[in-house]
Structure 1
């Protein structure tokens, strides 16, 4: 990774430059023209909103931008259940745990009251204003409207607002002061419900409103939005990366990307998680930011491939992210649940199998992986409990096997395998995507950045540890299982994993000449793990050449078909490497 790493990649959208507006003044001008085109004495504008949108800002911005019209505002959420009623319905899904709940399947209409919706409709009908603005999460339940807007924001921006305390949970009884519990409420209750509602209603929107930046909205027509999604699903693209500090964070990400200094070093880098990352679409001079999950929701088959969609639905099952411990500390000692446990305990359909691909490593770097031979399970659990109680520091090396880690090593981590990266590693983590289902067993006597002890879930972890994953098994099954698949002039393809118990396949290519990639019915996610630059090209001219640089993750939708990658720029004529992940179908 170098200063050339692109922190603001975008997808250029062709043919819709005149259907994008930035700022409330320009947006108000377009809405005023739309109202005039309708030619009605009263226009009802519905602004359906994702939870976390700054609705008060939108109302204030529209009041000023549409000041030539008399305007009434109706808050749709006045017709929702009171917070106490919402809480009664969802509390069994949220539990008392700081991190984990049970994935709910609610729909937004379950939280609105029919008589209050009728009263709201009557109030809208009775208004004598030229424009009635109806806002809120669930506003579309109240009235169809004459003009329909969808106000959206990205998951990362929601997290920033939750962390700062600017927003709380939707219809919560009182503001939760624990950021982990705020995130939990969104994950297990709000966001899946909001995505279901989005999938039903966004196609009907006349306009799409990007509300990520305070007082700087961007709007495109619904037609331009869906044209952009169609174009993105037919070409390689990158997600907008973001980086987050952590107690164990290192120095590599900040040094090699040129990130601004922080009080706490960067631990994570996310540039391959469509459910969390965003996309930039550029319409001429206007840049729109939207959640990448929108592409997954509305272009599922083209993006994922029909076999992957049939298996997972509208979910992106592969995740690439960075873990930086170079100059930092060990990650927490941890384990992931198997599929049966995660389904029964949390309502998830699949689990977080993963692997560590080592981009770079300091001398002496290690990975903790699997258990030592002939240890006592009862003894290990007893020591973990004593450590959790603050009675001892857990003697990890007595129980957990360590392996030396060097650049381009690949460690496979099937669910149930105890593991963590030690200090000195720059890890490209390749995993399935259930996000948060990591059971910490031991956290090296640390507290979080908020000064609170980081959650340890020994009560879950001890239920899923595979005690047969000892040194001999781990060494044979999980450490650098490299198998040459094929070679040609100037290139070699290797299979590096993942384990046969996991649904993700990874292939590494070393190449100094152009190498061909064939689609297999699955979306491909890749990273340039060696070399400064490569160019991805279409075999049929369906997309323009796409340049990637060291450590950049990129996605090739299943609809693309075949493509080639060649060294380019400063890497032309040199041997470089990519790692590719896809779903075994």
Structure 2
């Protein structure tokens, strides 16, 4: 297999979702309350099908189980990363995710959930919740018990092009009017602190997980130090957004139509096209990709070329 794996997206309807995934990317969303596009996933709750080549019709989950050579023989029971596009028409719940240790002990799952966000678009005044103001776990519990939500949560304004790192244990929420690309550990474990007394799609109040949220939260909150080095390589602008325990994420920008990126490949890469379009050429085929497309460059591809006027997010597992 010397070609890329083009993927069919998986959509998730959410009470806070909207229709930007259709308006901006042309996705065939199931309703006007579609909150998430799972672009690259091997998770049991939603795994993508391959739409080209000899593995057409197989899922990423199946390939991870049956064709590990595509992923540099990386170890682990679960495909390690999940890449999403999130459309927040309304505020998401304020939540926290466990680390690996807590997830294994309490949920029986391999991964906790560390994630990061690249802001694709935001309405004026849009904000995230990132962190809290409690100095101790006792103070955190007291402020939650007394429902001092406005005093407790730290709000951060964002705009297009911002990048936010959200390690496990970070109290957080995506605010309304934000469209973002999320790269995360392949986990669907979420503990809700607060949900605005909002009914879910079934008309009932959504479950909160106060005890688990307090147990998992980083106390006191600390903002991670971020370094975003950038450089140019033969017409390609490269920006490293994050390099940490679970993943490395880069933004690659080809400046103009006709620019070509040539790459040797040693591992596998998860690619999300966030702007423009491009031609991807491997040893076996040529593909045209556009904004919203997601694909995997497997480790069996020795080299490839990308040409066009395009911006992509490239994610790699660092487990």
Q: TM-score, normalised by structure 2?
A: 0.89
Alpha carbons 2:135, 2:220 under 8 Å: kept: no
Cα separation, partners in 2 of 1:353 and 1:451, compared to 1, 3 Å: same
Correspondence list, 1:433-472, <5 A: 433-434=186-187, 436-470=188-222
Q: Is the 8 A contact 2:272 2:312 kept in 1?
A: yes
Which residue of 522, 545, 552 maps to 2:286?
545
Structure 1 segments (4+ residues) deviating >6 Å: none
Equivalent in the alignment of 2:86: 323
Distance 1:361 1:490 in 2: 28
1:319 is displaced (CA, Å) by 0.7
Distance of 2:177 and 2:29 partners within structure 1: 21
Deviation at 1:380, TM superposition (A): 3.3
Structure 1 match to 2:49 = 279
Q: CA deviation at 1:404?
A: 1.8
Residue in 2 aligned with 1:399?
Answer: 152
Shift of 1:351: 1.7
SS of alignment partner, residue 558 of structure 1: coil
SS in 1 for 2:22: helix
Give, in whole Å, the separation in 2 of the partners of 1:282 and 1:579: 21
Unaligned runs of 5+ in 2: none
Tell whether the 8 Å contact from 1:384 to 1:442 is kept in structure 2 after alignment.
Answer: no
State whether residues 304 and 557 of structure 1, in contact with CA within 8 Å, keep that contact through their aligned partners in structure 2.
yes
CA distance in 1, matches of 2:35, 2:125: 20
8 Å CA contact retained: 2:6, 2:51: no
Query: How many angstroms apart in 1 are the aligned matches of 2:293 and 2:272?
Result: 6
Give 1:469 deviation, angstroms: 2.2
**For residues 299 and 288 of structure 1, do their structure 2 counterparts lie closer, same or farther at Cα, with a shift above 3 Å needed?**
closer
**Mapped partners of 2:121, 2:209: distance in 1:** 30
**Residue 427 (str. 1) matches residue 173 (str. 2):** no
Return the offset for 1:386.
4.8
Q: Tell me how far apart the structure 2 counterparts of residues 407 and 519 of structure 1 sit (CA, whole Å).
A: 30
Q: Partner of 1:384: helix, strand, or coil?
A: helix
Q: Secondary structure at the match of 2:251?
A: strand
Match of 2:280 in 1: 536
Give yes or no for contact 1:273–1:318 (8 Å, CA) kept in 2: yes
Contact 1:527 1:578 in 2 (8 A): yes
TM-fit CA distance, 1:517: 3.2
Residues 1:273 and 1:283: Cα distance change in structure 2 (over 3 Å)? closer
**Partners of 1:564 and 1:403 in 2: how far apart?**
38
CA spacing shift, 1:254–1:468, aligned 2, 3 Å:
same
- Length, aligned pairs only: 313
The structural deviation recorded for 1:288 is 6.8
Indicate the residue corresponding to 1:579 in structure 2: 313
Residue number among 56, 59, 62 corresponding to 1:291 in the alignment? 59
Say what the alpha-carbon RMSD is for the aligned residues: 2.4
The within-5 A match list for 1:149-548 is 231=1, 234-256=2-24, 257=26, 259=28, 262=31, 265-275=33-43, 276-280=46-50, 289-301=57-69, 303-306=70-73, 309-310=74-75, 312-313=76-77, 315-325=78-88, 328-372=89-133, 375=135, 377-387=137-147, 394-395=148-149, 397-434=150-187, 436-470=188-222, 474=223, 477=225, 481-484=227-230, 486-498=231-243, 500=244, 502-512=245-255, 513-521=259-267, 523-531=268-276, 533-538=277-282, 542-548=283-289
Please tell me whether Structure 1 or Structure 2 has the larger radius of gyration of its CA atoms. 1
CA shift digits 1:103-148 (9 cap, x unpaired): xxxxxxxxxxxxxxxxxxxxxxxxxxxxxxxxxxxxxxxxxxxxxx
Q: How much does 1:320 deviate?
A: 0.6
The Cα of 1:381 is off from its aligned counterpart by: 2.1
Contact 2:248 2:318 (8 Å CA) reproduced: yes
SS, match of residue 238 in structure 1:
strand
What is the alpha-carbon distance in structure 2 between the residues aligned to residue 298 and residue 508 of structure 1?
30
User: Between Structure 1 and Structure 2, which shows a larger proportion of helix residues?
Assistant: 1
1:484-526 Cα deviation digits (max 9, x unpaired): 2x4223222111014x3x31001111222212333343x2101
Is the Cα–Cα contact under 8 Å of residues 136 and 220 in structure 2 kept in the other structure?
A: no
In terms of fraction of residues, the more strand-rich structure is: 2
Aligned pairs for 1:88-107 within 5 A: none
- 2:300 is equivalent to residue 559 of structure 1: yes
- Assess, with a 3 A threshold, how the Cα gap between structure 1 residues 260 and 552 changes in structure 2: closer, same or farther: closer
